[in-house]
Amino acid sequence: MKDITVAATDWGLHAVACSGLRDAPPSVWLGTLRTALSGGSNGRGLFLDLREVGFSPLPSSHLGALASVVVQAGISAVLVSDLRLGHALCDAVRRSGTTGETAAGLRVLSADGRDRVAIAAAYQWLLNGREPADALRVSDGRPSVLPFPTTTAQKRPNSPGSAPLRHAS
């Protein structure tokens, strides 16, 4: 079973973690990622797709290894299928003792299946520096976990004098 697939591009590195990632020790795939980041591409961005890893948490050794790669990349977009994995990765980046400036380049987006909106937002962040919609600007420079797309609850007016909304039937 495959652990990770890596492709170097003009803008940076595109890595897709497969379901076998959790079964392989980090020493197997970490060198591949670091080598590809340091010399295999002209850019320094990292697009890391962790959606196939699944919903169960990764071991701390795997999170620490991924955090070191995220820090090395500088600017990175990470897709996860479960935000708990995103929070755990952000915590690992914080524990790695990086500066806030380095960690500020991390954007974690929650995406289910072929969520084209989240994928497009991740690429926009890497290619154009365009912040994903409703992105949290963290003033202390810590990485932010973004549930994307963000939905806002729409409230109906209940105050006296306001007309209730009518629904078409």
Q: What is the pLDDT of residues 84-139, one digit of tens each?
A: 888 888 888 888 766 555 567 888 888 877 778 888 888 998 898 888 764 433 33
Q: Nearest-CA neighbor of 116 among 79, 73, 89, 146?
A: 79
Domains of the chain: 4-146 (3.30.750)
What percentage of the chain reaches a pLDDT higher than 70?
70
pLDDT recorded at residue 164: 59
Burial 16-41 (b: 16+ CB within 10 A, else e): bbbeebeebebeebbebbeebbeeeb
pLDDT recorded at residue 26: 92
Start-to-end CA span in the chain (Å): 52
Residues 3-25: what's their mean pLDDT? 87
Q: Nearest-CA neighbor of 40 among 68, 11, 18, 65?
A: 11
Higher pLDDT, 41 or 19: 19
- pLDDT of 144 above 60: no
Mean pLDDT of the chain: 76
- pLDDT of 146 above 60: no
Q: Rounded distance, CA 84 to CA 76, Å?
A: 18
pLDDT recorded at residue 66: 92
Q: Per the structure block, which two tokens stand in for 120?
A: 């497009």
DSSP class of 165: P
pLDDT recorded at residue 89: 86
Burial of 96 from C-beta contacts in 10 A (0-12 / 13-18 / 19+):
middle
Q: Per the structure block, which two tokens stand in for 141?
A: 């420079």
Per the CB < 8 A criterion, the answer to whether 23 and 61 are in contact is no
pLDDT recorded at residue 145: 57
- pLDDT of 7 above 90: no
Residues 6+ apart with CB under 8 A from 104: 138, 141, 142, 143
Q: Which residues pair with 109 in a beta bridge?
A: 79, 146
